[in-house]
Structure 1
Amino acid sequence: MKILHINPLDIGARGVYSLHNALKEAGFGSTMLVQHKASEDNEIFSIEEKREKCALVFQEILSHLPLKWYTKKMHSPFSSAWIGFGDVLKHIQTAQPDIVHIHSLCGMLKIEDLAKIHKPIVWSLADSWAFTGGCHHPVLKEDPSVLSLPEECKGYQKMCGCCPVLCSTKEKDLSRKVWDRKQKAFSLVQKLTVVGISETIAQKARESQLFQKKEILTIPYPIDTNEFQSIDKKIAREILGLPQEKKFLLIHSRKSRYDESRAFSLLWEALKELQTQKMELLFLGNAPAVPEKLGFPIHFLGNLQDAISRKLLYSAADIFVEPFYQESHSYSILESLACATPVVAFRTDSNSEILQHAQNSYLAKPLDARDIANGIDWICHHLNYKHLSMKAREKACESFEKSKIIKEYSRLYEKAIS
């Protein structure tokens, strides 16, 4: 069976890339079409190879044009998907896959292009964009002074308009226009199966007006627990040139995230509570702006994409700290669990599906910096750290191991083409 995955990134979207590789190993003809290719996989094709970079930049500018009229818009991302790449549809027609598996439509296709795909479509949802009028995270307002998760806008359950993310008071604003376009396009798609990568996002999709008549499943992205497993901490630190006697916190910084500013301000605040601890910080990904006199030695490791480097890093760390809160199954959390490294994260619905408080990790009160500090301190001084680590690994193997997830996708694909 031939599966074509549509997503802007390949290895940068680790969950999608892991699914692609697991399907290939299971005997599926899995290929990917991406906007930006970073891997050397011959089964991954990039539209960058077919277009001049200046054309891609121009298209990126055009895609944001409708937002120019909303000068008070929140920082939360909003995509109207009114421009697509014709090359994507041409590639689908040439490749003739049995299934087109969309992971992110934005930046690849316009909404109306869905009806032009004459193959069964599987659409994996990592956020709310597919069933809203354009926002990826439907929030009513942004208030950094409030120590709770942003209140959710429920407009997607009926019909979008007066969009709070756009700070709009008009019923027929951009969100209504995007919502109307989606309603029309979805009605023309013959075979569409919707998959939430978490039960949290799947349930929101079921409650939405746009997807209320669609079949919606919950299947997370898989992880290769043979590839991602713990290495002896002493050996991992020796290879990375890290001191043996310190406690290490690992943080994955993703600059493209809109909640980055608040997430890191909460992290810095939490670390102030731990000034007496002999800890050092490991940063994977883009280096964030670190306050002066933070009080902890910091190691910036950069964007390590290969599995060997990443599992060395997870194994060297004592704790993985996830300060981001607008996430539907952080893949970094899955990698950390697979490498037997406990996690400290905020208690959100999605995090609660992966992490078991006080069993394999610590779930802090939402947006409570002091409780993040409590969690770090609790794991650092846990009397049976090895038991916590073992439970972390068990969770990854029981719930996200690739052979289990591929069986679920195999059943889904077979049903989609029948």
Structure 2
Amino acid sequence: MQVLHINQSDITGGAAIAVHRLHQGLLAQGIDSRLLVDIVTTSSDRVAAIPPRRRLDYQIRRLTKHLGFNDIHLTSTFEIAKHPFYQAADVLHFHNLHSGYFNYLALPSLTKNKPAILTLHDMWGITGHCAYSFDCDRWKIGCGNCPYPDTYPPIQRDNTYLEWKLKHWAYSHSHLVAVATTSHWLAEQAKQSMLGRLPVHHIPYSIDTQAYQPLDPELCRSLLGITRGKKVLMFGAQSLTNPRKGGDLLLKALSGLPDSLKSEIVLLIMGNRGEKMVESLGIPSLNLGFVGSDRLKAIAYSAADLFLFPTRADAFGLVAQEAMACATPVVSFKVGGVPDIVRPGITGYLAQPEDASDFSAGIMQLLEDQALRDRLGQQSREIILEEYALEVQAQRYLQLYGKVLDS
């Protein structure tokens, strides 16, 4: 079986990392898996770039962008059918189709002679423009009058009703056989959407449990230069720089911690531009900057007492999964697909949405109870091994590919 994944990048971004892990899991099962992407950063004969048509696409974009459409200017998408990866594929597996590289109007022609599935990594595939609709459910009835035109990916004009119609037309005229989602929450959204006529399968992300595994906490802290005896709270810098990731809620929650507890804490930040935003808290911080190595990330997660994930909207929670694989409990909000993996009293603490005080209470509860943290960490690791190993996800997709081919 030859499977072709089409995505925005090979490893840049959460969805890309998830797709690459699936790719590796399929290869381990003996499947001929290949990636066709916009941005290539790895070196592999199984990964290739979609040939661009920059000059022509740019000219068309000058018109369509002004009209409120982000992607329908991309004529290069129609050239995918000429690529050797496409021609050899038995099954097409579409992933994130936004981010300015794919024209969804090409779906009917690309799937005319090849069956395909679509994995939703966010809500973009079922809305009139946005990756997350927050409290808006107009995507169920056709969008229009968008309350969040500036949310990612932003639009210059509200033509969301027409874009919703165009997506519906593209799906209706495509040989899409099934939809997969990363969480139960997203599966329920898909069933209520324009894609609801298709079978919807819940297949969560997987993780390399050898690369991400618990390491000696004291040794990891020593390697990172963290003073012995400190309590370590870890989070991603993106939480501070992306409003959807809840940086304002995180800062409020940390500000609300007692001064006596603050004096015992070190903030461990992974990613760029995070340290200046926490200066006002009066809590020492260590910023690791961008960390691309799985091994270095495992060291950081293992050094932490808790991983903080203050997201406002997420389809799953890839970083929470990574932390749990390293036996680090997670504090997050009860939103989107997060409850699938952050399970109260089992793998971490879930605060009520938008409630920074509740988030702060969760941090305090877990920091003050070493035995509870140890138990949650151990249970987190066990759940990752049982439910989220690479081979588990690969086998579930293999079963779905089989159904696709049988159809």
Q: TM-score range by the shorter chain?
A: 0.7 to 0.9
2:251 maps to 1:264: no
Match of 2:209 in 1: 225
List gaps (5 residues or longer) in structure 1.
71-77, 140-150
Tell me, yes or no, if the aligned pair for 2:118 and 2:180 is still in contact at 8 Å: yes
Tell me, yes or no, if the aligned pair for 1:11 and 1:305 is still in contact at 8 Å: no
Match of 2:109 in 1: 116
Seq. identity, %: 29
Q: 1:95, CA displacement in angstroms? A: 4.3
Match of 2:11 in 1: 11
Give deviations 1:208-261, integer Å, cap 9, x for gaps: 1x212111111011112122110011121222232222111111123897525x
SS at match of 2:313: coil
TM-score (norm 2): 0.88
Match of 1:322 in 2: 309
Distance in 2 (CA, whole Å) between partners of 1:61 and 1:377 is 55
* Distance 1:249-1:157 versus aligned 2 partners, 3 A rule: same
SS at match of 2:287: strand
CA RMSD of aligned residues (A): 2.6
Give deviations 1:185-222, integer Å, cap 9, x for gaps: 112112431111111111111111x2121111110111
Q: 1:338, CA displacement in angstroms? A: 0.7
2:398 maps to 1:399: no
Distance in 1 (CA, whole Å) between partners of 2:18 and 2:334 is 22
Match of 2:145 in 1: 162
For 1:207, give the aligned amino acid.
Q
List gaps (5 residues or longer) in structure 2.
151-156
Give deviations 1:375-398, integer Å, cap 9, x for gaps: 111111114122121011122122
Give deviations 1:316-353, integer Å, cap 9, x for gaps: 11111001221111110111111100001011141111
* Distance 1:393-1:64 versus aligned 2 partners, 3 A rule: farther
2:102 maps to 1:97: no
Match of 2:123 in 1: 128
SS at match of 1:282: strand
Tell me, yes or no, if the aligned pair for 1:360 and 1:391 is still in contact at 8 Å: yes
Distance in 1 (CA, whole Å) between partners of 2:195 and 2:52 is 34
Give deviations 1:103-122, integer Å, cap 9, x for gaps: 11123321211011131111
Counterpart of 2:198 (choices 182, 191, 214) is 214
* Distance 1:20-1:257 versus aligned 2 partners, 3 A rule: farther
For 2:297, give the aligned amino acid.
R
Counterpart of 1:412 (choices 393, 400, 407) is 400
For 1:194, give the aligned amino acid.
V
2:37 maps to 1:34: yes
Report which stretch shifted further, 124-133 or 339-348.
Answer: 124-133
Distance in 2 (CA, whole Å) between partners of 1:330 and 1:315 is 18
SS at match of 2:320: helix
Give deviations 1:47-99, integer Å, cap 9, x for gaps: 3xx559xx38x9579658645467xxxxxxx8454425244333266542111
Distance in 1 (CA, whole Å) between partners of 2:359 and 2:317 is 17
2:339 maps to 1:352: yes
Tell me, yes or no, if the aligned pair for 1:6 and 1:101 is still in contact at 8 Å: yes
Distance in 1 (CA, whole Å) between partners of 2:147 and 2:138 is 10
Distance in 2 (CA, whole Å) between partners of 1:313 and 1:392 is 16
Distance in 1 (CA, whole Å) between partners of 2:183 and 2:62 is 29
SS at match of 1:85: helix
TM-score (norm 1): 0.86
Counterpart of 1:282 (choices 248, 255, 268) is 268
Q: What does 1:17-28 align with in structure 2 at a 5 Å threshold?
A: 17-28=20-31
* Distance 1:329-1:92 versus aligned 2 partners, 3 A rule: farther
Counterpart of 2:318 (choices 319, 331, 338) is 331
